[in-house]
């Protein structure tokens, strides 16, 4: 009898969730906010949902193209069990077409016709790997994970049963229906809020801003712990007005203790001619965030600024020191400040916290 933990991923097509057949053989996909109308023989914008004879199938199921044991700080999730690790997985595909994508080979591979090497895995395989490596969580990451929603749901249920956390690293383009499914197993999410300008999303990402904001609010309402990341790109989304608008929206709609990660851009994909974000721009972005009322603003991809420590909102005591991806926590066993006793906002911070 085969070991169920090493069973191969199914070869037969896996039906896509949230698919609505149309009278003419097309299918309306409800997984991401593009809501593609996929005609027979065609694929959606993500490149991995295909209409086969009037039925939409999820071709990415179990086709893992990237997997690694990452520090949770790399996600970045700074208020989820600092210093812990996450077994991270991705399949091909993405609903966004960001010209600055850092993982463009796997995200855009299906659309660009790249022949990507994949490992066919069953959900049990992922959990077994995470447990064998001593990971504290499984992260769905590197591409927009809604493209492998069905696989993530099957993995996530097993992850939860094994006592680990589920982490969702996302562009924030899941539909409300998809977020209802995610709410049953996702503990924390980092959402890329790439800009506060509709034109930026349309021109550089092939998407829209409004659904991202709606998805963030829906995840918040579902009880998922949220952290927000903005990649600051010179000349594109780095004006004080735009950064202030993002920070203000986070403070007003998510709360001032919601972490905001402003991250340094490095040339990539079709923006290889754009220089890295100047350090003064990042310092200014962090200051703008603090002036908007945010208590936890972090600067990523710029270790020389040493702007990734966490300080107590109540008394200013240093709670978590970070150097690179290494974290040293000074929290009490209950996830609180050792000086004033105020609990740090987040999950998995103490003995009684998930």
CATH number of 63-308: 3.20.20.70
Note the pLDDT of residue 184: 86
Which pairing describes strands 37-38 and 49-52: parallel, antiparallel, or unpaired? unpaired
Count other Cβ atoms within 10 Å, centred on residue 202: 12
Task: Count how many residues are written for the chain.
Answer: 354
Which sequence spans correspond to the domains of the chain? Answer: 63-308, 309-354
Closest by CA to 215, choosing from 30, 18, 32, is 32
Q: For residues 59 and 42, what is the distance between their CA atoms, to the nearest angstrom?
A: 12
pLDDT score, position 147: 97
pTM of the model: 0.95
**What is the structure's pLDDT at 167?**
98
Of all residues in the chain, what percent carry a pLDDT higher than 70? 96
* pLDDT lower than 50: segments of the chain: 1-7, 352-354
């Amino acid at each position: 009898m085969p070991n169920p933990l090493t069973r191969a991923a199914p070869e037969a097509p896996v039906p896509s969730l949230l698919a609505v057949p149309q009278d003419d053989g097309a299918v309306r996909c409800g997984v991401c906010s593009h809501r593609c109308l996929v005609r027979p023989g065609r694929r959606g914008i993500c490149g991995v949902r295909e209409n086969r004879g009037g039925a939409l199938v999820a071709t990415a199921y179990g086709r893992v193209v990237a997997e690694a044991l990452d520090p949770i700080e790399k996600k970045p999730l700074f208020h989820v069990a600092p210093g812990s690790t996450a077994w991270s997985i991705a399949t091909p595909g993405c609903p966004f077409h960001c010209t600055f994508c850092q993982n463009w080979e796997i995200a855009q591979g299906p659309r660009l016709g790249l022949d990507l090497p994949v490992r066919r895995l069953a959900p049990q395989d992922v959990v077994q790997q995470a447990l064998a490596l001593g990971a504290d969580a499984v992260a769905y990451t590197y591409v927009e994970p809604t493209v492998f929603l069905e696989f993530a749901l099957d993995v996530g249920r097993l992850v939860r049963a094994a006592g680990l956390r589920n982490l969702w690293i996302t562009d924030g383009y899941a539909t409300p229906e998809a977020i209802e499914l995610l709410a049953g197993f996702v503990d924390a999410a980092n959402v890329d809020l790439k800009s506060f300008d509709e034109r930026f999303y349309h021109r550089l990402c092939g998407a829209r801003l409004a659904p991202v904001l709606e998805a963030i609010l829906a995840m918040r309402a579902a009880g998922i712990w949220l952290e927000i990341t903005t990649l600051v790109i010179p000349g594109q989304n780095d004006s004080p007005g735009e950064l202030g608008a993002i920070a203000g929206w986070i403070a007003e709609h998510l709360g001032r203790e919601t972490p905001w990660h402003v991250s340094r851009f490095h040339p990539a994909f079709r923006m290889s001619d754009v220089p890295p974000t100047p350090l003064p721009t990042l310092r200014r972005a962090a200051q703008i965030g603090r002036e908007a009322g945010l208590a936890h603003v972090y600067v990523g991809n710029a270790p020389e600024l040493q702007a990734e420590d966490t300080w107590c909102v109540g008394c200013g005591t240093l709670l978590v020191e970070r150097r690179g991806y290494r974290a040293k926590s000074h929290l009490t066993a209950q996830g609180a400040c050792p000086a004033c006793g105020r609990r740090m906002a987040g999950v998995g911070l103490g003995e009684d916290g998930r």
